Amino acid sequence: MTQPIRKVLIANRGEIALRVIRACRELGIRTVAVHSEVDAEALHTRFADEAICIGPGPSPSSYLHIPNLIAAAELSGADAVHPGYGFLAERADFAQMCIKCGLTFIGPLPEHMSLMGDKVQARTRMQEAGVPVLPGTGVLASAEEAREAAERIGFPVICKASAGGGGRGMKIIHDPATLEQTVETAQAEAQAAFGCGDVYLERYVTSPRHIEVQVIADHQGNVVDLLERECSVQRRHQKIIEEAPSTALSEEVRVELRKAGVAAAKAIGYRSVGTVEFLVDGDRFYFMEMNTRIQVEHCVTEMITGVDLVQEQIRIATGEPLGHLDREHVPHGHAIECRINAEHPVTFAPQPGTITALHFPGGYGVRVDSHVYQGYTVSPHYDSMIGKLITHAPTRGQALARMRGALDETIVHGIATNVPLHRWILAQPAIIEGGYDTHFLAQNLDEDAVRALAEEEP
């Protein structure tokens, strides 16, 4: 039975808040923007039907403050909440509070967030479901257990935070001499970042590709995959360029990877849009984690499938089945996304400040998702991403050429951005040929060349 949604409170900011507003507008649903004091002039507050201030600039006092968000929903008469990505998007306690207060949470069930947010529990459930996982351990109880496990798995191993993500609490260990100290360091980082110092070990893949499967699951038990995305261009374990489909997979492996993504979602009775992430090592792949939310890089999937993923999230939240979606999808062309960040293109240091001049590219096959404008001040309180540049074309070569042209047309004055870095990356033979892995940037970055491109910026 479907439950209509009339008004959605968007518990987020920036480009994803605008993305949700657009999706709701097309579905005839009213929207409520929330904002901190420093975001009072942000675009999402202008384009939503209503806007409510939820606190000071620092996110713990505003976008992460659950009582203020619930109060804003009640004050505005919203009957649903969309969490976007980041902030509270994968916080089970927030989803549970929304449900307890009679609000439809546009996302998965809280128990799905809790299960897949615990990397050790998630590994165990995937093993039970027959989804390939790397040889590894449960939560480490002692240094002795870590030594025994590492010897069994074989060096190198990687130490990961059970509650982690984004590379925090993640350490590579190449030999027994550094094992104990590295595990202790990872535990301390995990405790500081996530409030939980639990860590575990996995076999380390030396030259992996990071490839993820987009899944959609309804309340009736139907699960559809919307192909895969390649996310191997990273810096410090953070994605900066994504594309779809991947160039790294044989057709046989591609089919099996997509089946594994669907199996992962079915194994937990998942409901909503989600992403199952894998490490690919040659013709073998291994489950890494599941993100129980919309992804930053969802745009490339939309471009090659024609499916509006945010609208699908909303439809599923109302109880609507997936009957309108094809069960088998084939990619229509190729799409590439560059994350545009307000950061130094070589050191990656955040660069807050006021944008004094701005021009984004346009034209056939070019999409820009952004929340900034000329005169906008990039705040030090939040993530440094100021937009996403996406190109789509019939072939990968054409999409790359279109992206290079779009980057050349991008003008941002007043702050430094990583546009010169993107221009350098997309000119490298390994990227053009598709023969790269997650270590590409760390091993090949030519800092002088990127600085020279930055000096040429229009």
CA distances from 268 to 40, 122, 334 (A): 40, 10, 31
Distance CA 426, CA 319 (A): 42
Q: Is 126 helix (H, G, I), strand (E, B) or coil?
A: helix
User: What is the residue-wise DSSP string for 333-386?
Assistant: SEEEEEEEESB-TTT--B--EE--EEE---STTEEEEE---TTPEEPTTS-SEE
Does residue 13 have an active-site annotation? no
Pairing of strands 357-359, 353-354: unpaired
Question: Which member of 271, 293, 315, 339 is catalytic?
Answer: 293
Specify whether the CB–CB gap between 216 and 210 falls below 8 A: no
| H-helix or E-strand spanning residue 301 | helix 298-305
Residue 85 half-sphere exposure, CB side, CA atoms within 13 Å?
Answer: 19
Query: At 363, phi and psi to the nearest 5?
Result: 105, 175
Specify whether the CB–CB gap between 304 and 331 falls below 8 A: yes
Distance CA 383, CA 389 (A): 17
The gap from C-alpha 183 to its chain's centroid, in whole angstroms, comes to 26
- Using the CB atoms, write b or e for 438-455: b if 16+ within 10 Å: bebbeeebeeebbeebbe
Q: Return the axis-axis angle of helices 309-317 and 298-305, rounded to nearest 10°.
A: 100
Q: Is 53 helix (H, G, I), strand (E, B) or coil?
A: strand
The total of other beta-carbon atoms located within 10 Å of residue 49's CB is 15
Q: Which amino acid is at 419?
A: V
Distance CA 306, CA 295 (A): 16
Distance CA 360, CA 413 (A): 12
The separation between the first and the last C-alpha atoms of the chain, rounded to the nearest angstrom, is: 55
Long-range contacts of 392-395 (CB under 8 A, 24+ apart): 392/303, 392/304, 392/333, 392/334, 392/335, 392/365, 392/367, 393/333, 393/334, 393/365, 394/333, 394/334, 395/333, 395/334
Q: Which residues are the active-site residues?
A: 293
